[in-house]
C-alpha cells in the first residue's frame, strides 16, 4: 500500500481537528502537530488555512457515506436509510461534532469566500440528491405529485442541519427523532 502523501495526511487530520474543535480554534501549528508532519511542509501544499478548510469540507462531503447503496429499498425508504446512517454516526459520537458542513457554514461563511463557496456547493449537491429521491418517490407514488421536490429537497436539508445543532446542544437523539417524525410522518 503506498504511503499517504503529506498533503493527504494533513487533510485527513484537519477533517478530524476542525470537526472536533472548530476552524478558529485550530491553527496550522496544531494541525501539523496532530498530523505528525513538519509545520514548514504545510505551505508547500496549501496557500492558507482557509484553502485547507475548503478542501476539508469537500473531503468530508465526499466521504459521508450518503450515497452508499441500501439494497432493494424503494426511493423513500432509501432516503430515510441515508438519514438514518447520519443519525447513527451522531449517536456513536455521543451527539458531539455535528455536521462539519453546517459548522463551517455557520462559522466561516462571513469570513472566508473560499470556504463559503465550497460549503454552498456541498449543500447544493446534497439537497439535489434529496430532491432526486423525492422525485423518484413521487414517480413511485410514495409522495404526492403536487409537492415541489426542489423546494422540499432544500427545506429538508435545512431542517436536518437545524436538528443537528439542537442535538449537539441537547446531547440527545430527540431532535433527530423530531426530524424523522415530521419529515417522513407528514411532510413527504
What does the alpha-carbon distance between residue 50 and residue 164 come to, in Å, rounded to a whole number? 24
3-state SS of 60-83 is HHHCCCCCCCCCCCCHHHHHHHHH
Query: Any idea which residue has 418517490 for its cell?
Result: 137
Q: Give yes or no for residue 98 binding its own copies (CB under 8 A).
A: yes
Q: Does 143 bind its own copies (CB under 8 A)?
A: no
Among 14, 83, 97, 134, binds its own copies (CB under 8 A): 97
Non-local (6+) Cβ contacts of 141 within 8 A are: none
Stretch that binds its own copies, among 38-46, 61-69, 130-138, 176-184 (CB under 8 A): 176-184
Q: Does 149 bind its own copies (CB under 8 A)?
A: no
Stretch that binds its own copies, among 30-38, 76-84, 114-122, 129-137 (CB under 8 A): 114-122
Closer by beta carbon to its own copies, 79 or else 152:
152
Dihedral angle over CA of 176, 90, 75, 129, nearest 10? 100
Q: Does residue 9 interact with its own copies by CB under 8 A?
A: no
Judged by CB under 8 A, the stretch of 32-40, 45-53, 60-68, 115-123 that binds its own copies is 115-123
Residue 108: exposed, middle, or buried by beta-carbon count in 10 A (0-12, 13-18, 19+)? buried
Distance CA 6, CA 17 (A): 16
Residue 159 within binding range of its own copies, rule CB under 8 A = yes
What residues line the site for its own copies (CB under 8 A)? 20-22, 24-25, 96-98, 102-103, 105-107, 109-111, 116, 119-120, 123, 147, 151-152, 154-155, 157-163, 165-166, 168-171, 175, 178-179, 181-182, 186-187
Amino acid at each position: 500500500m503506498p504511503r499517504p502523501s503529506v498533503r493527504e495526511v494533513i487533510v485527513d487530520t484537519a477533517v478530524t481537528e476542525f470537526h472536533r474543535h472548530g476552524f478558529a480554534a485550530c491553527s496550522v501549528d496544531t494541525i501539523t502537530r496532530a498530523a505528525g508532519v513538519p509545520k514548514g511542509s504545510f505551505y508547500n501544499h496549501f496557500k492558507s488555512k482557509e484553502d485547507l478548510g475548503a478542501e476539508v469540507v469537500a473531503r468530508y462531503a465526499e466521504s459521508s457515506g450518503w450515497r452508499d447503496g441500501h439494497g432493494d429499498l424503494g426511493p423513500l425508504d432509501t432516503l430515510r436509510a441515508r438519514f438514518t446512517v447520519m443519525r447513527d454516526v451522531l449517536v456513536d459520537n455521543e451527539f458531539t461534532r455535528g455536521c462539519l458542513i453546517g459548522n463551517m457554514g455557520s462559522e466561516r461563511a462571513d469570513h472566508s469566500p473560499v470556504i463559503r463557496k465550497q460549503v454552498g456547493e456541498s449543500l447544493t449537491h446534497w439537497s439535489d440528491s434529496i430532491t432526486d429521491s423525492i422525485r423518484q418517490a413521487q414517480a413511485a407514488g410514495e409522495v404526492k405529485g403536487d409537492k415541489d421536490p426542489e423546494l422540499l429537497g432544500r427545506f429538508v436539508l435545512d431542517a436536518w442541519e437545524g436538528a443537528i445543532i439542537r442535538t449537539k446542544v441537547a446531547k440527545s437523539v430527540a431532535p433527530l427523532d423530531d426530524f424523522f417524525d415530521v419529515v417522513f410522518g407528514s411532510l413527504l
